[in-house]
């Protein structure tokens, strides 16, 4: 059986069975494309898989073809039926970034914390937390949209529209 996965540089087909790849080749799996997900998402999404694990989720990317397991979980999440993900991931970052991301993963669905609150738990500064979150390779899975500034929303790499959307989604007002 052949699936269609893509190199970042070269979008020609490469075959790698999802979750079973033995090669070390970086593989890109893309999703989105119009009605692939719910119609009112702020944008499409792409997912990158290497050696059977999701290593990058990109909001606002407009390509196509996502592994079925991941697609299913994302669609459930976006329709409000799923609160956590079970697909395999590999989290890549510095040790500090991993600490921040781990802490952020503890924030319950539908709740938010401030950058300062996260910083205090880790004995660091809000600024450093923001900087680590800006590098989050797995938005949604590492729910950085649940971290807001003390006054307003704070920032979001994929755009504040996404951040608002995700917070509203989890609040159930959607």
Residues making contact with DNA (CB under 7 A)? 94-97, 114-116, 124-134, 136, 139, 144-145, 147, 149-151, 154-157
Q: Active-site residue 66, yes or no?
A: no
Q: Among the options 28, 144, 147, 167, which is catalytic?
A: 144
HSE (side-chain half, CA atoms, 13 Å) at 80: 10
Nearest distance from C-beta of residue 36 to DNA, angstroms: 23
19 vs 128 by CB, closer to DNA: 128
Nearest distance from C-beta of residue 67 to DNA, angstroms: 23
β-strand partners of 14: 5
Nearest distance from C-beta of residue 57 to DNA, angstroms: 11
Which residue shows structure tokens 């039926």?
81
Alpha helices in the chain, H assignment, sequence order:
68-78, 95-105, 115-122, 126-134, 160-171
67 vs 137 by CB, closer to DNA: 137
Cα–Cα distances in angstroms (integers) from residue 149 to residues 55, 103, 113, 115, 157, in the given order = 27, 16, 8, 6, 14
Nearest distance from C-beta of residue 60 to DNA, angstroms: 12
How do beta strands 13-14 and 5-6 pair?
antiparallel
67 vs 126 by CB, closer to DNA: 126
User: How far does the chain reach from its first CA to its final CA, in angstroms?
Assistant: 39
67 vs 139 by CB, closer to DNA: 139
Residues involved in catalysis: 144
């Amino acid at each position: 059986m052949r699936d269609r996965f893509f190199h970042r540089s070269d979008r020609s087909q490469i075959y790698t069975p999802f979750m079973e790849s033995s090669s070390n080749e970086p593989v890109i799996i893309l999703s989105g494309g119009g009605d692939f997900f719910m119609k009112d998402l702020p944008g499409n999404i792409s997912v990158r898989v290497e050696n059977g694990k999701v290593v990058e989720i990109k909001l606002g990317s407009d390509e196509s073809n996502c592994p079925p397991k991941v697609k299913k979980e994302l669609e459930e999440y976006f329709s409000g039926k799923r609160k956590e993900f079970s697909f395999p991931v590999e989290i890549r970052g510095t040790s500090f970034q991993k600490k921040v991301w781990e802490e952020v993963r503890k924030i319950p669905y539908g709740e938010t914390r401030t950058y300062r609150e996260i910083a205090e738990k880790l004995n660091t500064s809000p600024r450093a937390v923001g900087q680590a979150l800006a590098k989050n390779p797995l938005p949604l899975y590492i729910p950085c949209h649940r971290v807001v500034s003390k006054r307003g929303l704070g920032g979001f790499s994929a755009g504040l529209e996404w951040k608002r959307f995700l917070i509203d989604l989890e609040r159930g007002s959607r």
